[in-house]
Structure 1
Amino acid sequence: MSNLKDIETAIQKLSLKDVQELTFWFESYSASLWDDKIATDLNSGKLEKLLTKAKRDFLKGDFQEI
């Protein structure tokens, strides 16, 4: 696979339309990676303490609406 500099150079040669399409694809791809990471962490129990605290705080009314 090309190194990062090769990828950057190739991107700089793209048309505006292609950059827009690449941006849309990359944002979707990045979100998918993040979703997978969260699912993995959730399934492994890594988020259990955080979720327990959030639920406890919510039930006590200790939260701020956004």
Structure 2
Amino acid sequence: MTTVSEIKTAITQLTLEELRELRTWYEQFEADQWDAELEADVAAGRLDSLADEAIRDFQAGTATEL
């Protein structure tokens, strides 16, 4: 198992092109993780109260357009 320390050391040894490639990969990886977490929250109903509040605000005419 690779440790975080070993990963950090390996990153410092990357070329600029490899670092760009890693950055691009990691940004997509992080976005995918966030999407999965959001989908799990939605499926579990953890955002229902926020959605209900937004609908109530919209129906009451108190919502502001973005």
Q: Under a length normalisation based on structure 2, what TM-score does the superposition of the two structures give?
A: 0.90
Distance 1:13 1:58 in 2: 53
Superposed, which structure 2 residues align to 1:1-66 within 5 Å? 1-66=1-66
Aligned-partner Cα distance in 1 for 2:25–2:61: 40
Gaps of at least 5 residues in structure 2 are: none
Return the offset for 1:56: 1.4
Letter aligned with residue 53 of structure 1? E
Structure 1 runs (4+) greater than 4 angstroms displaced: none
Report the aligned-residue RMSD: 1.1
Aligned residues: percent identity? 36
TM-score (normalizing by structure 1): 0.90
